[in-house]
């Protein structure tokens, strides 16, 4: 089997996207965490961008082209559907994920207030990064300010529609998320998962699983909750590339949830 290595930060939505594609295809791979302040792990590429995917002696970057490359080399469990029409739809939805869902997260970091909540989130992210590539205390402490001034985030802001405020963008995205599911079972109304599902899944569960959010909002919308349950069996219990000890709220499988409800019912009714 050809050696496969994925280089990046587990806090990057693009890195997690590629990781989920690899997991779905059941491809054994090594995740190599990259230190964002000293990316020597990818020095061999002579460029700073992550994710970097290395298969054998060849390496490439950019999450969507990497998914295309994976399908070319490992066609089982395709990420782009079974027809040209499905492929075009998947690529269009993938662009929406990049230009709306993911961009909104970075825009929130860039434009949002330097509040106590933002500092808490930033320091938690720094803790996750440092758990894989140790950071000096002064860097970890400065993480909120570093996020606000990160060059790559500033560059991404060039793609923001200035006519739409951050609050308007944040209100639009959940509605479009439901609309883009198109009734499911997977995004685009497809019967099999695609790149879009693996771009969205790690993004929408990340904050909950690592303890940044107390509740997983998707479960409040029946169609998204059904999609979430369709996705869980396709991926490992921890699909986020973060260390297991950084997972605060693991996703519960349906069978476990049912067992928990049954046990609770037994206790309430006095069963043994």
pLDDT tens, position by position, 172-210: 999 999 999 999 999 999 999 999 999 999 999 999 999
**What tokens were used for 67?**
């998914």
- The CA distance from 49 to 124, in Å, is 23
∠ CA 70-72-75, rounded to 5°: 85
- The CA distance from 99 to 207, in Å, is 19
- The CA distance from 127 to 21, in Å, is 25
- Counting every residue, how long is the chain? 272
pLDDT tens, position by position, 14-58: 999 999 999 999 999 999 999 999 999 999 999 999 999 999 999
Nearest Cα neighbor of 62 from 70, 53, 72, 54 is: 53
- Pairing relationship of beta strands 4-8 and 30-33 according to DSSP bridges: parallel
**What tokens were used for 199?**
């771009």
pLDDT at residue 268, as a whole number: 33
Helix (H, G, I), strand (E, B) or coil at 60: strand
pLDDT tens, position by position, 74-118: 999 999 999 999 999 999 999 999 999 999 999 999 999 999 999
Residues 6+ apart with CB under 8 A from 180: 93, 96, 187, 188, 196
Separation in Å, CA 262 to CA 42, 237, 249? 49, 22, 21
Count of other CB atoms within 10 angstroms of residue 70: 23
Task: Give the pLDDT band of residue 133 (cuts 50, 70, 90).
Answer: very high
- The CA distance from 133 to 267, in Å, is 45
Query: In which residue are the tokens 């009734």 written?
Result: 183
Percent of the chain with pLDDT over 70: 92
- The CA distance from 112 to 4, in Å, is 38
Task: Give burial (CB, 10 Å; 0-12/13-18/19+) of 73.
Answer: middle
- The CA distance from 249 to 210, in Å, is 7
Count of other CB atoms within 10 angstroms of residue 135: 20
Helices 166-181/195-209 angle, 10° precision: 130
Query: In which residue are the tokens 């963008």 written?
Result: 169
């Amino acid at each position: 089997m050809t050696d496969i290595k994925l280089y990046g930060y587990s806090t990057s939505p693009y890195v997690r996207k590629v990781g989920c594609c690899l997991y779905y295809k059941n491809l054994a791979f090594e995740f190599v965490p990259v230190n964002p302040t000293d990316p020597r792990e990818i020095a061999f590429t002579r460029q700073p961008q992550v994710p970097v995917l290395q298969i054998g002696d060849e390496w490439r970057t950019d999450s969507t082209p990497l998914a295309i490359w994976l399908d070319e080399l490992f066609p089982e469990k395709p990420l782009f559907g079974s027809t040209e029409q499905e492929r075009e739809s998947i690529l269009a939805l993938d662009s929406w994920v990049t230009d709306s869902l993911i961009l909104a997260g970075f825009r929130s970091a860039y434009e949002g207030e330097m509040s106590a909540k933002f500092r808490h989130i930033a320091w938690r992210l720094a803790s996750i990064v440092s758990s894989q590539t140790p950071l000096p205390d002064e860097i970890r402490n400065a993480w909120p300010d570093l996020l606000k001034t990160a060059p790559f985030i500033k560059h991404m802001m060039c793609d923001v529609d200035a006519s739409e405020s951050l609050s308007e963008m944040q209100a639009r995205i959940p509605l479009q998320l439901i609309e883009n599911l198109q009734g499911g079972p997977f995004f685009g109304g497809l019967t099999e998962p695609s790149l879009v599902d693996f771009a969205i899944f790690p993004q929408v569960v990340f904050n909950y699983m690592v303890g940044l959010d107390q509740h997983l909002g998707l479960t409040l919308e029946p169609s998204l909750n059904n999609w979430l349950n369709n996705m869980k069996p396709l991926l490992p219990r921890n699909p986020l590339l973060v260390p297991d000890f950084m997972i605060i709220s693991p996703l519960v499988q349906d069978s476990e949830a049912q067992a928990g409800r049954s046990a609770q019912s037994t206790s309430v009714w006095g069963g043994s």
